[in-house]
Structure 1
Amino acid sequence: MARIEYSDPAKHNDRTRELLGKNRNANIFRMMAHSPSYLEQYCRLGGAIRHKGELDPIVRELAITRTGILCEAPYEIVAHKRIGKNVGVTDEQNEALENWEAATCFNEVQRAALAFTDEIVRRHKPTDATFNAIAAKLTPAALVELQLSVGFYIMTSKFLETFAIDMQPVTEVVG
């Protein structure tokens, strides 16, 4: 159960209601709508991360889901496993994310991105070896996008857990 009440979409201005509607009135967005201006900017950056840029969407979703796992944010894990499937992440890859190092279903770029993700979340920055390994496989733009994706979803995971956001019903897609 959420730690504070979700905002009521009916009490918001047209722009906030529009953002909530575009995001299926999902619990995370209803909570964030307590601050409409932050909700709007969060959606802008989240949209850029998920729909713009050159980072391979499979790499992005593997990194985002792994971030949710490391941050112990079930809402994020469920949402992004579903989103990942929609962009080409396999069921085997989704299942292997808990213990990706022992899995054989990830290619070199995916493995380097997962190592990078692990170190950002666990160590707060990657070692030189890990950074150099992923930097050798991505363009500078894709590398920036990977780091910002991980950072954004650390923040998102912490938001979800801080407010104890309730899971969405299985039929809804959020994230």
Structure 2
Amino acid sequence: MARIDYSDPAAASERTREILGKNRNANIFRMMAHSPSYLEQYCRLGGAIRNKGELDPVIRELAITRTGILCEAPYEVAAHKRIGGYVGVSDEQNAALENWQAATCFDDTQRAALAFTDEIVALHRPTDATFKAIAAKLTPGALVELQLSVGFYIMTSKFLESFAIDMQPVSEVV
């Protein structure tokens, strides 16, 4: 059960109701709607991360899901395993993300991105060796997008867990 009540869409501004509607009134957004201006900017950046840029969407979703796993945010993990499936992450890859190091279903670029993700979350910055490994595989733009994706979803995972956002049926999770 969430630590505070979700915002009431009926009491929100027209713009906030519009944003909530575009996001299926998902619990995370209903909680964030307590701060309408932050909700709007959060959705703008989240939309850019998920829909713009040059980073391969499979790498992006593997990194985001791994971030959710490491941050112990089941809502995030469920949402991005689903989204990952839509962009080409295989069921085998989604299942292997808990222990990706031992899995054989990831290519070299995906493995470098997962190592980069692990170190950002656990060490707060990648080691030189890990940074060099992923930098050799991605353009500077894609590398920036990978780091910002991981950082954004650390924040999202911490938000979800801080407020104890309730899980929703998979069909409703965004």
Same fold? TM cut 0.5: yes
Question: Which TM-score band applies after superposition, normalised by the shorter structure?
Answer: over 0.9
Secondary structure at the aligned position of 2:170 is classed as coil
| Counterparts of 2:133 and 2:124, CA distance in 1 | 17
| Counterparts of 2:173 and 2:31, CA distance in 1 | 17
| Corresponding position: 1:96 with 2:69 | no
- Partner residue of 1:46? 46
Letter aligned with residue 43 of structure 1: C
Letter aligned with residue 141 of structure 1: G
Structure 1 residue 170 displacement after superposition: 2.2
Written as runs of structure 1 = structure 2, the 5 A alignment for 1:61-72 is 61-72=61-72
| Corresponding position: 1:142 with 2:142 | yes
Secondary structure at the aligned position of 1:34 is classed as coil
CA deviations over 1:21-48 (Å, ceiling 9, x no partner): 0000000000000000000000000000
| Counterparts of 2:107 and 2:169, CA distance in 1 | 33
Secondary structure at the aligned position of 1:53 is classed as coil
CA deviations over 1:88-131 (Å, ceiling 9, x no partner): 00000000000000000000000000000000000000000000
- Partner residue of 2:37? 37
Equivalent pairs counted in the alignment come to 174
- Partner residue of 1:161? 161
| Counterparts of 1:122 and 1:5, CA distance in 2 | 31
| Counterparts of 2:47 and 2:37, CA distance in 1 | 15
The range that moved more, 93-102 or 164-173, is 164-173
- Partner residue of 1:119? 119
Identity of aligned residues (%): 85
Flag structure 2 segments of 5+ consecutive residues without an equivalent.
none
Flag structure 1 segments of 5+ consecutive residues without an equivalent.
none
Letter aligned with residue 46 of structure 1: G
Letter aligned with residue 119 of structure 1: E
Secondary structure at the aligned position of 1:171 is classed as helix
